[in-house]
Amino acid sequence: MKALVLSGGAGTRLRPFSYSMPKQLIPIANKPVLEHVLENVAALGVTEIGVIVGDWGDEIEEAIGDGFRFGCRITYIPQEKPLGLAHCVALARPFLGDDDFVMYLGDNMLPDGIQDIADEFAAHRPAAQVVVHKVPDPTAFGVAELDENGAVRRLVEKPKEPRSDLALIGVYFFTPAIHEAVDSIAPSARGELEITDAIQWLVSSGADVRASEYDGYWKDTGRVDDVLACNHKLLDDRAPGVFGDVDGSSELIGQVTVEVGARVVRSRIEGPAVIGAGSLVEDSQVGPYTAIGRRCTLRATRLADSIVMDDASISKVPGLHGSLIGRSAVIGPSEHEDSHHRLVVGDHTRIEVAA
């Protein structure tokens, strides 16, 4: 079985970060989302992975490489425009050949793994097998309606009056039958080839299409709040360890990881938390559920429940909470004598300032 991982989306809900980096490289627990995805796929025993990339293809390839460290070989497949998930399958046809494959959205986090579902697909080999998850508001998702035997009867995209609470969560298993389905559908009203239309074509043609319910932790990391929530989950599950330097005036409480080359000086860190390689935390308090990236500097700062990306610098900030700080960002006191705030703010940025 091969894999097709989709990493070409624009990430509009993650602006302003997606203006300067692909959303799939947003770090969660100090590792890009896409790395978590590829590790999940490789855990299935897949050794051939195709990755669909868009405008950020060069940066994704530089960050991920050829797949050697995941125990697989990665083939990058460019998509000039985001024309739908089924269009990705059509683009990848030369790579996929006549092999079965798993298709996985590159911003989906399923840290509990999908091995049982993959085994189920291999044992029964339906034409298609979709992965679903119960959600409180099905109107925001594609929804699968099943018969009494678990076969897919109908797929409905964002139904106004849903008959099911089983949402499609962006993981699909296919046999080569999907290629005929993709060739047989037309673009939707939004001009895209929809994978739900292709799967519905299989259902209408009498093919065996099944659904497997995933009952583990799942997040679509398309929004800042979801990124931070997922960071909670992964930090909770991360084993602690001190591989850098912590001086005698500092205190580590709970699950704290200090990576190689990091230094903690006169500071208090309460886990779960991770301090990235080469970073300096000095005269600061780092609260639970915080991930500090590589080569960051924190001085005289208090923060919690936050993600600080590589090369950022924060100084003399008395309280940050629930924050996502971008790469090479600089946050600190004004150089002016007055008490005004000075901001350099990009498009779609949200800033909350205490009165």
- For the chain (355 residues), the mean pLDDT of every run of 10, in chain order, is 86 63 86 93 96 89 92 94 91 96 92 93 95 88 84 85 88 97 92 91 94 89 85 93 96 96 97 96 96 96 92 88 86 66 55 57
Say yes or no: 167 and 212 in one domain.
Answer: yes
Tell whether 290 is covered by a domain: yes
Say yes or no: 212 and 243 in one domain.
Answer: no
Tell whether 336 is covered by a domain: no
pLDDT of residue 122: 95
Looking at the 3D structure of the chain, how many domains does it have? 2
Say yes or no: 158 and 10 in one domain.
Answer: yes
Residue 45 tokens read as 């025993």
Q: How many CB atoms lie within 10 A of CB 160?
A: 6
| Category of 45 on φ-ψ map: left (φ > 0), alpha (ψ -120 to 50) or beta | left
Tell whether 13 is covered by a domain: yes
Say yes or no: 12 and 64 in one domain.
Answer: yes
CA separation for the pair 242, 81 (Å, rounded):
45
CB 53 within 8 A of CB 30: no
Tell whether 228 is covered by a domain: no
The CB-side HSE value for 43 (13 A sphere, CA atoms) comes to: 15
Tell whether 346 is covered by a domain: no
Say yes or no: 278 and 318 in one domain.
Answer: yes
CATH number of domain containing 42: 3.90.550.10
Tell whether 219 is covered by a domain: yes
DSSP output for 244-265: SEE-TT-EEESSEEE-TT-EEE
Say yes or no: 45 and 82 in one domain.
Answer: yes
Say yes or no: 78 and 178 in one domain.
Answer: yes
Say yes or no: 295 and 209 in one domain.
Answer: no
290-292 vs 273-275, strand pairing mode: parallel
Say yes or no: 195 and 291 in one domain.
Answer: no
CB 320 within 8 A of CB 305: no
Q: How many CB atoms lie within 10 A of CB 121?
A: 24
Instruction: Output the CA–CA distances (angstroms, integers) from residue 90 to 55, 157, 349, in the order listed.
Output: 19, 21, 36
Say yes or no: 261 and 172 in one domain.
Answer: no
Write the CB contacts of 121 (distance below 8 Å, at least 6 apart in sequence).
Answer: 100, 102, 129, 173, 212
pLDDT of residue 13: 60
Q: How many CB atoms lie within 10 A of CB 94?
A: 9
H runs (alpha helix) in the chain: 17-20, 33-42, 57-64, 85-91, 93-96, 115-124, 177-184, 195-204, 224-236
pTM of the model as a whole: 0.89
CA separation for the pair 95, 106 (Å, rounded):
18
Virtual torsion, Cα 26, 29, 32, 34, nearest 10 deg: -110
Q: Which domain holds residue 211?
A: 2-223
CATH number of domain containing 284: 2.160.10.10
Residue 32 tokens read as 């890009």
CA separation for the pair 191, 201 (Å, rounded):
18
DSSP output for 209-245: EEEEE--S--EETTSHHHHHHHHHHHHHTSPPEE-SE
Q: How many CB atoms lie within 10 A of CB 335?
A: 6
Tell whether 211 is covered by a domain: yes
Whether the bond between 16 and the residue before it is cis, its omega within 30 degrees of 0, is yes
pLDDT of residue 151: 87
Say yes or no: 204 and 264 in one domain.
Answer: no
